[in-house]
Chains A and B, each alone.
Chain A
């Protein structure tokens, strides 16, 4: 919404020493955020009224004329102009050197300079309306016509900004931030706020004495949807233009002026927030207005001859034969004001917010009227709107006459009554505010207030009683904001120490993430919960249990992830454009159909689990597999959580046929680790590289309450360390080797695996390191040899291992 400070000043005397920016700032802090402050006069600098004294042909151009123009200076100036409607004595808009105009109404403003046009010097420009921001005022200007100020009360040199009421400041407010304040949808409501902020008196709205006239026939069939309806029949109307001051207000607040009647209805809406509607009286057949619900399949004919289908939920304004308009939302063809309009029926009505909202939802574009009704307007404002409109009609059409008048008023907005104790205000506000100050603020906002035994009896004004202010907290909020939240001394928060905060699951998540990022070289990514279908298919995910969005961001993004693998595949394929080796991890929730009641029995949510997935991307499949395996094997120790195991049980769909392991905990599979299969990589466009991936249900990981391992005494005697290279059959696993000699050694460590020249086919060489120790004594070389021999014997017996000859 755009707010003209000139119009505001009609309703409240703002302190004179305030800058417009200060007003905007004060309003921002206390009422509603002002997004922009625009000085509307600024763009009119050096644009003045000129009078054409003389017109000469241009020697070198057919369409150009050379004009001598009086711009209120000592000497007239020469301007070259191509306007088609130039005449001597014409009052025109002149942009002098230095002015900024929009050439032909298009593009960014350009600064006027002294120029030569086909050999003739021009000291300015005689402008068309679109060039000097005046097209709202001259909608019918033809091509190459310039503004003709005939009929304006002006003289050469007058400021054009003044002439069109543009010496003003316009505050721009985001409509969204006004949605809870139906009273602020007109200038008068904003003025009331400023009167409270600055303790400046608010002027009363003018009333209008309705002459004694017969009643207009109005019938409200659904009084739950229409709370009040004033109909006024007025004669002596035509489609003359509204006065410039009114056009100016409309132009500044973003509404194109049309004709006086339409302008008045718009002006009143912007002034007091009450929508109005004018019907050509001859279009209302039967001289009767009926407010009723539409019939099934009833249609409303629009101005453009299209029609819209109505439903019985829609409230329509009708005459005796058919629908003329959709109540509170838009008019139809039948209600339009036409060039031959001589008399009108003016509608000032109140419709219930719910009804308007319900119908309005079906139309993409919200009308100004609908926006206001939706918020809930008090019924009292109907009369304020009518009075102001009638006064303006009389002013603009002095010969107009009210023929009939009706005020049908089935439901009145009742003032809410609230009790607010001083004690409540003192504690919640955190400081004592004097009774005088409280009364001053609330009275300025329209509340009636009295203090009885420490309790304020507060009567809420009607314009805040349509849902806005209902409880004492709302009243407290009004006091706090007018005082300004910023004015309250910030009170320290006390901490009572009851117990230390130790949330092991929260800490574990952090330890895991830090382990991966800081120790293992992974980068953390976040992915969207909706997953592109091709990656779900690529990962071979079963979608039976997957959830879908009703209105997804895109048609192929409807599924919510049940695994983090597809999102990871997408991230890998995108990053491969720039990197060939990298590590990523993602720790987020995944979803599947199910029965999960986290908070109350009535709410059954899908199953939601925290998953952790990670990948290592690199050329050497075997290498990255063992790297990934190492990441999982070491996780429990570094992250201080209960042990997890790796076992080969069942292949996840994404994994290679050979290289996969399941991650288990207490014999339950909680995740998998493996190389990504050729098929999955092909389907997800991952080329010329390999990927080792793991995925774990992180909810199954159990943190230790603290660091738990016990210290081991340092050995008194040094361990004897020996490397062994053995040759075994391909089928012999490291696990078998390890288990065979476990009891004979203190420590055993894998060093290397080798296949090659000296190793026969079907065999492999394994190098391992063992550390041995004799309890109590230092080992002699004989003892060492004896032990190593016995180790080799066992290896031979259990694994068929032979010592590799050097």
Chain B
């Protein structure tokens, strides 16, 4: 009997070892440890044995059962570890499924980046409407009565109003600055706000010039602030946009609505300031005009220039986006061309 049991054990363990799948293993498990297994048969037939035999055989069968169970456990783990969810290996070089996202226009992306930066500096966002009047686009901003920008060669006047004057002469706004007075009239001072938007000029278009383009203007009005604070703001903004410190310089510039006015240039990112075609070989790119708000503009906004001062900066969004991505034709921004737009996720 002892030998028989020993044989059952050896055979059984071998069967377990030979099982390839979980299903096979389950078959083997049934065969070896189930009610109809050889071991069960032996245990059932034990009645006829002596107590001494019962004890030794009983111990032996229990031991065999245990070793079966151990082995089954190990084998099951082994099989699971080697199993795949796939029936067949797959071609790992096939492309993954496309993520079906669209995208914001690169101009909008830049606008939101700037909004985030300005919001952190405590600025509000203001939206002026696209159609304005000569009063708000020019008169309020200290443009001389005969300033050439007031002519229809420069500004898009609305039909039927082009020969009128002031508040009655309507135009697609030629710049954003008119919005500053609208905001100040409504909210008063102190104020700090940005007003992004699209502006329109009657000009001939080419890769660098557009009739409709995007600007982003910011204005702070407060007491006793110095224009040099503008520099900090600009550096902060550029760092935010380009992700690193950008070299800038501030130089003389003239705008009717500022005194003094200045131009802010940034180092050309295409050539790193060495001079290239993009920067007209001087290493600098004009990005932001700005300046101290002219007393006459403050007066238009109902503020006392003796008490209040402030400064503008105006960012050419198109130019900045062009710099960011190396875009070489400004007209693409209004093209609605998906071959272009799909590049900006």
Which chain A residues have a beta carbon within 8 Å of chain B's beta carbons?
28-33, 35, 177, 179-181, 354, 357-358, 361, 427-431, 467, 471, 473-474, 476-478, 480-481, 484-486, 488-493, 495, 497, 501, 503, 506, 510, 513-514, 516-518, 520-529, 547-553, 558, 560, 567, 570-571, 574-575, 578-579, 582-585, 588-589, 591, 598-600, 602-606, 608
Contact = CB atoms under 8 A, between A and B. Distances in A.
Contact of B152 (A429, A484, A551, A575): A551
A518 B101 contact: yes
Contact of A528 (B115, B212, B338): B212
11 contacts: A430-B227, A430-B229, A480-B227, A485-B252, A488-B226, A523-B105, A523-B341, A525-B341, A529-B172, A547-B131, A608-B130
A606 B146 CA distance: 26
A608 B158 CA distance: 14
A177 B252 CA distance: 10
Contact of A526 (B161, B181, B229, B336): B336
Contact of B259 (A474, A517, A551, A560): A474
Given A517-B104, A526-B333, A602 B252 contact: no
Contact of A558 (B159, B182, B228, B342): B159
A497 B121 CA distance: 10
A477 B339 CA distance: 47
Contacts, number: 237
Interface in B118-158: 119, 121-125, 127, 129-133, 135-136, 144, 146, 151-153, 156-158
A427 B226 contact: yes
B108 A524 contact: yes
A605 B251 contact: no
Contacts of B216: none
A781 B127 CA distance: 61
A604 B164 CA distance: 13
Given A357-B146, A521-B102, A524-B104, A584 B336 contact: yes
Best-buried of B122, B132, B146 by chain A (most CB within 10 Å): B122
Contact of A529 (B104, B152, B200, B249): B200
B92 to A, nearest CB: 27
B215 interface: no
Nearest to A469: B259
Interface stretch (B21-29, B65-73, B230-238): B230-238
A526 B198 contact: yes
Given A497-B122, A550-B160, 13 more contacts: A35-B280, A467-B144, A473-B292, A481-B252, A490-B235, A492-B229, A521-B102, A526-B336, A527-B336, A549-B159, A549-B172, A591-B130, A604-B167
B202 A553 contact: yes
Best-buried of A558, A584, A599 by chain B (most CB within 10 Å): A599
B217 interface: no
Contact of A600 (B185, B251, B333, B336): B185
B14 to A, nearest CB: 47
Given A477-B260, A605-B129, A524 B105 contact: yes
A186 B101 CA distance: 59
Contacts of A429: 226-228
A549 B250 contact: no
B31 interface: no
A430 B130 contact: no
Contacts of B224: 427
B251 to A, nearest CB: 4
A603 B133 contact: yes
Given A427-B226, A428-B227, A471-B259, A33 B105 contact: no
A604 B170 CA distance: 9
A136 to B, nearest CB: 26
A490 B162 contact: no
Contacts of A517: 101-104
Best-buried of A28, A179, A526, A567 by chain B (most CB within 10 Å): A526
Given A430-B228, A510-B112, A527 B334 contact: yes
Contact of B251 (A485, A552, A558, A584): A485
Nearest to B220: A493
B159 A578 contact: no
A583 B341 CA distance: 12
Chain B interface residue bracket vs A: 35 or more
Contacts of A574: 335-337
A382 B166 CA distance: 36
Interface string B190-228: 000000001010100000000110000000100011111
Nearest to A584: B336
B100 interface: yes
Contacts of A521: 100-102
A501 B122 contact: yes
A501 B115 CA distance: 12
A477 B311 CA distance: 13
B102 A518 contact: yes
A583 B212 contact: no
A598 B104 CA distance: 29
Contacts of B104: 513-514, 517, 524
A412 B334 CA distance: 53
A497 B120 CA distance: 11
Nearest to A507: B125
A495 B120 CA distance: 10
A575 B336 contact: yes
Interface string B311-344: 0000000000000000000000111111101100
Contacts of A31: 252
Interface string B280-318: 100000000000101100000000000001000000000
Nearest to A601: B167
B338 A29 contact: no
A584 B108 CA distance: 14
B241 interface: no
A179 B256 CA distance: 11
A345 B227 CA distance: 52
Nearest to A357: B146
A599 B186 contact: yes
Contacts of A520: 102
B129 A589 contact: yes
B212 to A, nearest CB: 5
Given A357-B146, A506-B125, A553-B202, A606 B226 contact: no
Contact of B135 (A473, A528, A603): A603
B40 to A, nearest CB: 38
B232 A493 contact: yes
A154 B170 CA distance: 65
Best-buried of B202, B231, B252, B262 by chain A (most CB within 10 Å): B252
A440 to B, nearest CB: 18
Contacts of B229: 430, 490-493
Contact of B129 (A477, A527, A528, A608): A608
B36 to A, nearest CB: 35
Contacts of B211: 528, 553
Contacts of A503: 124-125
Contact of A523 (B103, B146, B254): B103
B170 A490 contact: no
Nearest to B107: A526
Given A29-B249, A503-B124, A548 B136 contact: no
B263 interface: yes
B77 to A, nearest CB: 33
A585 B105 CA distance: 10
Nearest to A27: B252
A598 B337 contact: no
Contacts of B144: 467
Interface string B247-281: 00111111000011111000000000000000010
Nearest to B293: A473
Given A33-B251, A521-B100, A526-B198, A495 B122 contact: yes
Contacts of A501: 119, 122-124
Contacts of A430: 226-229
Contacts of A583: 102
A474 B305 CA distance: 14
A431 B229 CA distance: 12
